[in-house]
Structure 1
Amino acid sequence: MNLSPRTKHSRKARTAVALLCLAALTACGEQSAEGSAAAPPPTSNFSENGVTVTLSVTDWHAPNGTLTAVFTPEEKGFHLYSTELPLTGIEGVGRPTAVAVTGALKADGKLTAAADVRTISVPGVDAPVPVYPDGPVTTTLPIRADGNGDATVLLGYASCSTEQGCTIPVADRPVHLRITDDGPTFAAH
């Protein structure tokens, strides 16, 4: 078959593009296979006073990583208080959602929440009270290992419902970790 030079060129270009796409897909597949072979991040969870807390350490590149804590009220219609709430609440109402680390781990930044703060009015309280919307709240804390050894995550929170009242606040609830050359691992419950 006689093809014009222009047809030959566009066929070569299409073939080259197809080969590049195939190479890219193959590389992505190899990368995914490598990524899926990686160990899952260390996690731990517990439930106390109407909230389930799930902790994980991600993005670990010794000695730095990210500590994620997901606070999930166990009943519909419950919210958590802002991380910015004072320790004793507003006029005694509420307790902040808090994550701190001690021992071989240090905070390497500020605790942030992936939820917008809104304010509510509480009967008998003059000032607005900052809370997150009803449901789960994900917080992250940049962390840094200060060598190998034992570490503790200290958690605090309180959940409330405008219709059902509040659960008993939790303060400085410990979760233990061990930091080694292989990274952090949570202690067995």
Structure 2
Amino acid sequence: MEIAVRIHAVRLRARHAHRGAALTLAAAVTLAGCAGTGTSDATVDAAPFSAGGVAVSVRIESRDDGLRVLAELRPQQAGFHLYSLDLPDGGVDGIGIPTRIRVEGALRPASLATTDAKRRMLRPAGLDVRLPVYEDGRVVLELPVRRVEGADRARVFLTYGACSERAGCLPPVRDRAVSLSLGPAS
């Protein structure tokens, strides 16, 4: 089934530097359907935010092979890493905050979350544990999803913790909700 993409209204702000005036066009992008084989690509973005020392952006992309939730997590200080998706829920011996992404509402997971971030094993000084973490810097999580018939609102939940081998860990973020409006399904 081809993903139907409808543009109802998209808010676009353009500022004319020579006039200093803001131009606003009404708009919103709607994704209809749940998976596709067509060639349409569309994106729905949530407002970016920052929490736990990490800048976060979340979007839903419609691709030929279906819908994907993409969450970009970027530690705001150099030398900070995020824990791996592979870290067990309780950490290793209670150490570490596993990175997690989940959805509810108009979206359901179609498979497990993945990332192409490089993973490494960290052995904190003085501890007899090895923790799976990603290389310092940006991590993009990708969660294949399917659309729930009749629902137009989704929530994406993110859990993560940013740590540095030299500066310690920042306060963890647990189940931070990001709301997305997908518009009506057809």
Q: TM-score, normalised by structure 2?
A: 0.72
- Match for residue 171 of structure 1 among 153, 164, 174: 174
Give the greater-gyration-radius structure (CA).
Answer: 1
Q: Contact 1:145–1:179 at 8 Å: present in 2 too?
A: no
Match of 1:110 in 2: 112
- Give the whole-Å Cα distance in 1 for the aligned partners of 2:93 and 2:171: 17
Superposed, which structure 2 residues align to 1:4-153 within 5 Å?
Answer: 41-44=43-46, 45-60=48-63, 64-147=66-149, 148-153=151-156
Pair 39,61 (structure 1): closer, same or farther in 2 beyond 3 Å: closer
Residue 53 of structure 1, CA deviation: 0.8
Pair 113,71 (structure 1): closer, same or farther in 2 beyond 3 Å: same
The two structures, once aligned, show a CA RMSD in angstroms of 2.1
- Give the whole-Å Cα distance in 2 for the aligned partners of 1:91 and 1:124: 14
Match of 2:160 in 1: 157
Give, as a single letter, the amino acid of the residue that structure 2 aligns with 1:169: P
- Give the whole-Å Cα distance in 2 for the aligned partners of 1:134 and 1:163: 12
Match of 1:34 in 2: none
Which portions of structure 1, spanning 4 or more consecutive aligned residues, are displaced by more than 2 angstroms?
Answer: 59-62, 178-183
Residue 106 of structure 1, CA deviation: 0.2
Pair 111,50 (structure 1): closer, same or farther in 2 beyond 3 Å: same
Aligned residues: 145
Give, as a single letter, the amino acid of the residue that structure 1 aligns with 2:152: G
Residue 174 of structure 1, CA deviation: 0.4
Residue 56 of structure 1, CA deviation: 1.1
Q: TM-score, normalised by structure 1?
A: 0.71
Residue 126 of structure 1, CA deviation: 1.8
- Give the whole-Å Cα distance in 2 for the aligned partners of 1:125 and 1:92: 12
Q: Secondary structure at the match of 2:43?
A: coil
Residue 71 of structure 1, CA deviation: 0.5
- Give the whole-Å Cα distance in 2 for the aligned partners of 1:143 and 1:159: 26
Q: Secondary structure at the match of 1:110?
A: coil
Residue 86 of structure 1, CA deviation: 1.0
